[in-house]
Amino acid sequence: MSQLVAIGLIEKDTEDIIEFTWAYPTMDKSIKELLVRKCPPSNLSESNQYLLPYVFSHGEGFWYYMLASKFNNKEYSGYVTDICFTILSKDFHPEKYYDILQALLQTFLFSNSVVTVLKSYLSLFAKKSLDIIGTDKVLNISSYDPRKAFIACPLKPLILQFGIESILLYNAMLLKCRVVVYSSELEALLAFTRTLPLLALHRQNWSIVFPYVDLVDYELTSLKEQPNYVAGFLDSSVENRIDLYDIFVNISSSTITIPEHAKSRFSLSKAHKEIAKLMMEVANDTGKSDQQAIKEINLKTKEMITNLKNLSIQEDGTPGMISYEILKQRKFTATMSNFLFALATVEGLTQL
C-alpha cells in the first residue's frame, strides 16, 4: 500500500514521561515531537482520562492516526503505563486506519512484542491485508472505499446547528477561505472539520482539512503556507489570531465571526439566499438521508458554476474567460458580480 508511510509506538511511563520509543522505517525528529505532543496520553482531561483514545490529524504533508490504550504488562516493562500506536500515511480515511490500529494493538497486547506488529504492518504493505489475531477475520484494505471517508460524518446536523448562518460556511468553502474552528471538545472538533468540505463536494479536496492544530510556531508556519484551509483548535485564544482566519467558527457556542479584513468576501447576494433556502429545506427534511442532502447541495453548486461558465461563450461555443466587463453586461448587482467574479477566480475561470 503506497499510502502508508510509517508506524510508531509511543510509551508513557510511571514518571509521566512520554517518549517515542519505536518507529519503522524512520520518522523525523520534528514529526516525532509533534506526535508526542498530540497523542492521547499527552492530552489528558481533568479526570486524567484521555480526551479521545483515537485521534487523527493532518500536518507536514501527512495524515497521522493515533490509537492509545492503558497497558499494564510487567513482562514487557515495569514502568510503562500507557501505549499509543501511530500511523503516518498520505491518504485520509479515519475509519480504515482505526480498524488497522485496533488490529495492530491487539497483536501487540497478545504477543507483547513489537516484532509481530512489524510483521503485520509489512503484510499490510505487501499483501494489502492483515490477519486479526484472536479471530479468523482478515482485514482487507480494498474493502475501504475512500469516498466513504468523506461522508462518514453527517452534514445535516452541522447545518441544523448553525441554521441560516451555515450559508456563511458554504460561502467560505466555495470561495476557498481560511476557516478556523474552535471547540472545547476534541471529538466535536474532529467531526466538524472533516464535514465542512462536503459543502464544496465538487472539489473533493480533503487535504485542506487540518482537524487538530496547536498554537505552536512549528505547526502554524506550515499552516500559513496553505492558501486556504479548515483548521481546528482546542485553544480558545486562537480567536485573537485574526491573521490566521477569514472566518471563525465556535462550535461550543455555535457562533460565527468574520474579521474586518474578510468582510468583503462575505457580502451575500441573491444566489446565496437561494442556496441558503435549499440548505435549510434539505436539512429539515427528515425524509431525506444525509447523502441525498449532500447530493442536492452539490448539484446546486455545480449548476451555479456551469451558469457562470456559460456567461462567456467564445465564438466556437466553448466557454471562455470571465471578466468584469462580461458581468457588467449582464447587469448583476454589485455584490452579485463581486461574488461571481470571486467564484470564477477560484474556479480558474478568470483572466487578468
Partner 1 sequence: MDEVDRIIISTLGELGCPVDDVTSLSDFTVALVIEGTVRCLTAIIPDFNCSMVLPNQLAKQFRVGQQLANSCVSLGYRGEIGYQTFLYANLIEWRRVFVFLIESLPKAAYRAGGDSSASEQALLQRRIMKALQASVQEFDCPPVNYLPVFSDSKMKFHRSTGAHRTIPLTLPNPDSDSYFHKVLLPPLCLQQYNPGALYWNPWCASCLEYLSSQKAAQLEQEYLQLHNTSKHGYDTQTRRKEMFTQKLAEGLRHGMMATKHENQNNDISNSLSDILTSFQSDGAPLRGNESIFQATEKFHFSQTKPLAPSVPQLGASKPVEDSRKQREQLREELTEKLALISQKIASLELEISRVKMSIGPTREQLMLQLQKNAENKELIRSKKRVLELVAGSHEEGLENAAKLEEVVRTMLARIQLDSEKWEVQRLELYEEIRGLRDTMNTSKDELERETRQLHELKEKMRDCAEENQVKDATLVQLREEYENVNKDTQRSSYTNRIMEILANIRKQKKEIEKVLSDMRQLQKEINQLEGKVGRIYSLADEKIFKAARKDESLRDLYKNLVTLHSTFGNITNTIEQTGSTERYIKDLEDQIDDEKAKEVSTNLKSMQKDYQLLVQENEEMQKKVAAK
The residues that touch partner 1, with contacts defined as CB under 8 A, are 11, 13-15, 17, 21-22, 24, 76-79, 113-115, 118-119, 122, 126, 176, 227-228, 341-342, 345-348, 350, 352
User: Which stretches within the chain are classed as H helix?
Assistant: 29-38, 94-111, 114-127, 146-150, 156-162, 166-174, 186-195, 217-224, 270-284, 290-311, 324-329, 334-347
The three cell numbers locating residue 20: 517515542
CA distance 54 to 43: 12
Cα dist. 83→28, 40, 131 in Å?
A: 20, 9, 21
Question: Length of the chain in residues, anyone?
Answer: 352
- The alpha carbon dihedral of 245, 250, 256, 260 has a sign of negative
Nearer of residues 20 and 162 to partner 1, judged by Cβ: 20
Q: Closest distance between partner 1 and the C-beta of residue 109, in Å?
A: 16
Q: Give the CA radius of gyration of the chain.
A: 23
Nearer to partner 1, 7 or 52 (CB): 7
In the complex, minimum distance from the CB of residue 185 to partner 1, in angstroms, rounded to a whole number? 32
Q: Which is nearer to partner 1, 21 or 69 (CB)?
A: 21
Q: How far is the CB of 304 from partner 1 (least distance, A)?
A: 17
Closest Cα partner for 203 from 165, 175, 181, 227?
A: 175
Query: CB of residue 125 vs partner 1: minimum separation in angstroms?
Result: 10
In angstroms, the CA 238 to CA 48 distance is 25
* 114/201 with CB nearer partner 1: 114
Q: How many CB atoms lie within 10 A of CB 315?
A: 6
Least distance (Å) between residue 305 CB and partner 1: 14
For the bound state, the minimum distance from the C-beta of residue 130 to partner 1, rounded and expressed in Å, comes to: 16
Residue type, 96: K
Cβ 273 to partner 1 shortest distance, Å: 24
Rounded to whole angstroms, how far apart are CA atoms 49 and 350?
A: 52
Q: In one letter, which amino acid is 53?
A: P
Q: How far apart are CA 245 and CA 13, in angstroms?
A: 38
| Shortest distance (Å) from residue 20 CB to partner 1 | 11
Nearer to partner 1, 283 or 308 (CB): 308
- Give 179 or 282: the residue with its C-beta nearer to partner 1: 179
Smallest distance, Å, CB 80 to partner 1?
Answer: 8
**Contact indicator for 213, 231 with CB cutoff of 8 Å:** yes
Q: In one letter, which amino acid is 146?
A: P
CB nearer to partner 1: pick between 43 and 77: 77
Sign for the pseudo-dihedral over CA of 256, 262, 267, 273: negative
